[in-house]
Homo-oligomer: A and B are copies of this chain.
Amino acid sequence: MAKARRQTRQLEVVWDAIKDETSHPTADRVYEKVREVVPKISLGTVYRNLQKLVAEGRLQVLTLGRTQHFDPLVRSHHHFICRSCQTVYDISVDSKDYVLPFTVPEQGFTVNSHELTLYGTCKNCST
């Protein structure tokens, strides 16, 4: 049987806080934002709900350094990270002509997904 999914105010508020974010916030950042609506929410609950959303495929996780960033844009896309200001930009893959034919090390390997990250300098930091 499927696990009971429970509709709580906290989960709803966490989702509302991130669903339209394009800034790839950290859990802590989401916590601050959510606190404005539900001041008594705990950081642990924010983490638990973010995990839940990730498990459901409603969020994607991007690890930068040691910190997780959450990203509601789930359709296939890549990231551009500015080495100067650390800002993460989404790169949508409209022109899929850019997804490449992969060659895997040996026979017997199956590729299910991939992640492409570009590093460089963004517009703002190019001075």
Contacts and interface: CB of A to CB of B under 8 A. Distances in A.
Tell me how many chains of this kind the complex includes: 2
Interface string A81-108: 0010000011100010011111111111
B115 A117 contact: yes
Contact of A118 (B66, B98, B108, B114): B114
Interface residues of A, number: 36
A121 B105 CA distance: 12
A108 B83 contact: no
A127 to B, nearest CB: 10
Contacts of A89: 105, 109
8 contacts: A80-B104, A83-B112, A89-B105, A98-B101, A98-B103, A108-B126, A114-B117, A115-B119
